[in-house]
Chain A
Amino acid sequence: MNKKGIFEVSIYAPFALILFALILIVAWFLFSAPARPTTDVIKSVESSRINLLLINYLRTPVDEEKNIADFIVESFKKSNYEKLGSETRNEFEKLTRQILDPLYPETMCYNWNLQIKLMPDDKELLFIFNKGRLFTPPTADTSIDVPLIEKPSKYLRVRLYEEC
């Protein structure tokens, strides 16, 4: 670049930058307002709701001495960790439906599944649902392991999951 060129650039460059900034500001006011905002919905504490529901469900008293968790352990101990007899199963199902059905209206979260498995054998012992067995990934999912005093290496996994 010759001397004349350097001189011209030094005169024009600051003005060009100011002009660019001015055009940017004007363009910002003119074109940024109609731009559709991206919407992020935060639902990070959703999981605590179903966790608390399952905890409360398991500690619900069945009679003066035992709660549902005790009832589950006792029932499966009697059935030698096989599927429950129809009478016990009906009683258990009735108890569960009294608690869970009112919480799952037709709108919003409508389908709940409750599964009890003997672990680590991964053997399904009981399955209760209100609308149908969920095969798609659930909206919320939680489980609690209930230890077995008689069989220290094994435990019952009570899993509650739902579709919204």
Chain B
Amino acid sequence: MKSKKASFIISSEMVIWIWRFLFLIVVSIIFVFILSSYVHREIKIADLQENILITRLLYSQNCFGYEDVRIYPGIIDLEKFNEENLKKCIAHENRIKFKLTLSNEANEIKTIKDEEEIDDLIPLCEIKEKPFTCFNETKYVLIKNEKKEFNKGFLNIFGVIEK
């Protein structure tokens, strides 16, 4: 049987340990809060991704960029501007769909898309909560035609990136 002295020591030790536990819990919570503010960092790369893809369309020789001995960024070769090239250009990008419209000041010259269903997605871009992001941008380009003439043009790029 425990003596009175022993039970007094145990009970007083328990009271001290309760305070120690409380102190430990408070310190842990503060520690977790400080740490989580550094760890929980959301990086939005949608704009970056969009810009890189558009840049690829305009700069790459595998896409629409005009080339002779070198590539001319921002000059679209009309002969290369077709759906086959678009599909090749974004071959490894399964989550991305494009619709590109090339026009001059007055008329639409050509529209190409990598998938027909992209037209169905255009009205859905207005919805706030959706499983994809949309972008629509117009670029000023020069168009090189079959006669090797350069003309003013605008390239409208509509894209859908699955989240």
Interface residues, chain A, with chain B CB atoms under 8 Å away: 19-20, 23-24, 27-28, 31-32, 35-46, 48-49, 52-53, 55-57, 59-61, 98-100, 102-103
Contacts and interface: CB of A to CB of B under 8 A. Distances in A.
B55 A48 contact: yes
Given A39-B42, A40-B43, 6 more contacts: A27-B25, A40-B42, A43-B47, A55-B73, A61-B151, A98-B105
B71 to A, nearest CB: 13
Contacts of A48: 51, 55
Interface residues of B, number: 36
A96 B99 CA distance: 27
A19 B45 CA distance: 40
Interface string B36-67: 11011111110110011001001000000000
A82 B12 CA distance: 95
A61 B159 CA distance: 30
Contact of A43 (B29, B48, B149, B152): B48
Contacts of B36: 28, 31-32, 35
B18 interface: no
A41 B47 contact: yes
B19 interface: no
A100 B140 CA distance: 8
A100 B105 CA distance: 12
Contact of B41 (A24, A40, A44, A55): A40
B67 to A, nearest CB: 15
B140 A103 contact: yes
A42 to B, nearest CB: 4
A46 B39 CA distance: 27
Contacts of B43: 39-40, 42
A20 B44 contact: no
B33 A45 contact: no
A106 to B, nearest CB: 14
B8 interface: no
A102 B138 contact: yes
B150 A61 contact: yes
B73 A52 contact: yes
Contact of B37 (A23, A35, A53, A61): A35
A35 B33 contact: yes
Contacts of A100: 140
A39 B151 CA distance: 42
B134 interface: no
Interface string B142-163: 1000000111101000000000
Contacts of A28: 32, 36
Given A38-B37, A52-B74, A61-B151, A19 B48 contact: no
A20 B28 contact: yes
B48 A44 contact: yes
Contacts of B51: 43, 45-46, 48-49
Residue among B28, B42, B52, B150 facing the most chain A CB atoms (10 A cut-off): B28
B44 A56 contact: no
